[in-house]
A and B are shown apart, each in its own frame.
Chain A
């Protein structure tokens, strides 16, 4: 499967936090039956559902490097019924303002198409539009009679936005769940590039679950693997009106290498070296507490992991039209591969001497 196809398939796939199986299956298939099977030396799924792709290193005592990108997406969840409609709450950080008029799929006993009700302007009070509609007041309309509804849907069923990925000009891709499946694809790109490359480090590419609920998959996978080094790969904000230029990064100008308390200074430096060695354009972001990425969890696993963070610029994060440049994704994969080839035992030993 080509990179573009995989990106679109993953963007369109269903996999809200804690219910990632359908998205996981696409990745598992790619690495068990697809071309990816030749690129790795092992694949497993842990008890919380993280996918761990292993590629052995060539050293006798290889440094163990964990890469992490999360496969879960934000979503909604059914909380109660009211006269044939559904009330819902969120899975992860959903802006209630993007919901009215959105087409959704309720994952009940079967997938059921529905819409989130939006009150027509004609029926609104004059000043109603000055306030955002509260999520507690919204309902999902499945067009089903109340008894059919309760037969097909149960409390706790997940709901996702229905959205097909679209290709914009200049190979910009827009769709849902690009956060963080674009980065999953970047890991795939990295492994693709490493297929015929000797590297000393053992690579543990982890496709994590439940990031959007508090980087939960990363906590347990990092503990279980206890790596020496970790790189989280996630999205960061793309430039757009209303976002300060130091908080929004340019699309198409390459991966963003992050510095801040969660990043080991020598990993940060090594990532920049790797970019320069590979002639990869990159941008730098200073982030004080990136609690919202897997790096947050990996760094404090067991007795501590030297951690880095690489991001892909993404506009309109946590909407269903998240937009990024394909080039940034590919270059991120290349950066990771370049970084991996540079890691050896000596680098590892140097990490504690600073």
Chain B
């Protein structure tokens, strides 16, 4: 299963190599151009010579994780977060360290040795460490280097009623959507950008968009689902099982109203369920692309996902399938009728 394979690859921001190679292998021979740029973005294209607006699809390959910043004399690894991680999710988890995927655990002080008040306070990142079983610093240095990236060690799987759980669904699910479209042919010049370093500031998309210079960009993302207690209904950004989420605004982007209307019209006429992303918080590559050069219209379509940026996220496979359908329908629509803006 593509989604499972992608989820289990490790690609913490700035070392997306494993993901890039996996995707590159699946693109070989199926696209007209394929190259990796100097930041590591993987960019493929179809129909470069076709008339019609140049469209860029983007999904980011990177995931949040940790980085080794120091090694204690006792061999424990000091860490920092890469991308936005709530430190409270880190305790008592399994991780894989560095290119050799060294197994490690994030330990926690036994409850027996804690003061009662300690349990009420989160453990700060400065007190957390990764244990790879090294006997001392020099032993650790045989396996790990400063700067090595650390990913959650999570196996992906289907569960419940049509749900899927795994790490890095943000945004491997988006990558999977793009890969599902790659064999289709659209009557327009189409660029697939599998980008790097989204989680540390939309950096891959910034340069990819500059290089591609499209007329329109569609960002395929994963967004937080808030259909979980104690969130109230109006605080829920999206809900699982209600289809892909269309953004009207986030912290980095105001989607042009006509573009939102066009996405809605396509979804409705194709009978694809959709919902709005009912929050304006969080940023996406759409913002970076929109601000490129003289301004590039950008829209964001997201798969709702619970518990993103934690070791395990949950999405609904129907939403995933509907997202593929929606992006496909939008591309066909643009190929037929031109840009909606």
Contacts and interface: CB of A to CB of B under 8 A. Distances in A.
Chains A, B in direct contact (C-beta < 8 Å): yes
Interface of A: 228, 244-247, 259-265, 268, 284-289, 299-300, 302-306, 351-354
A352 B148 CA distance: 21
A108 B169 CA distance: 57
Interface string B65-100: 001111100000010111000000000000000000
Contacts of B69: 246-247, 285-287
16 contacts: A244-B70, A246-B69, A246-B71, A246-B146, A260-B14, A263-B14, A265-B15, A286-B148, A288-B80, A303-B208, A303-B211, A304-B210, A304-B211, A306-B38, A306-B39, A352-B38
A289 B201 contact: yes
Which of A246, A305, A353 has most B Cβ within 10 Å? A246
A353 B67 contact: no
Contacts of A300: 39, 203, 206-207
Contacts of A304: 37-39, 41, 207-208, 210-211
* B17, B70, B126, B211: most-surrounded residue (chain A CB, <10 A): B70
Given A228-B38, A247-B70, A303-B37, 19 more contacts: A244-B78, A244-B126, A246-B71, A259-B147, A261-B200, A262-B14, A285-B69, A287-B69, A288-B82, A289-B201, A300-B39, A302-B210, A303-B207, A303-B208, A306-B38, A306-B39, A352-B35, A352-B37, A354-B17
A329 to B, nearest CB: 23
A19 to B, nearest CB: 29
Main secondary structure on chain A at its contact with chain B?
Answer: loop
A246 B78 contact: yes
B166 to A, nearest CB: 23
Nearest to B39: A304
Which 7 pairs from chain A and chain B are nearest by CB? A246-B70, A304-B207, A259-B147, A261-B14, A303-B211, A286-B147, A304-B39
Given A245-B70, A259-B147, A354-B17, A289 B40 contact: no
Contacts of B14: 260-263, 265
Contacts of A260: 14, 67, 147
B68 A286 contact: yes
B310 interface: no
B81 A288 contact: yes
Given A303-B207, A303-B210, A284 B38 contact: no
Q: Is the interface of B mostly helix, strand, loop or mixed?
A: mixed
Nearest to A264: B38
Interface in B119-148: 126, 145-148
Contacts of A259: 146-147
Nearest to A302: B210
Given A244-B70, A288-B81, A354 B200 contact: no
Given A244-B78, A302-B210, A286 B67 contact: yes
Contact of A261 (B13, B36, B210): B13
A19 B98 CA distance: 44
A246 B38 CA distance: 29
Given A244-B126, A246-B69, A261-B14, A289 B211 contact: no
A261 B82 contact: yes
Contact of A284 (B41, B147, B201, B203): B147
A354 B37 contact: no
Contacts of B148: 286
Given A244-B126, A302-B210, A285 B146 contact: yes
A42 to B, nearest CB: 25
Contacts of B201: 289
A304 B193 CA distance: 14
A211 to B, nearest CB: 18
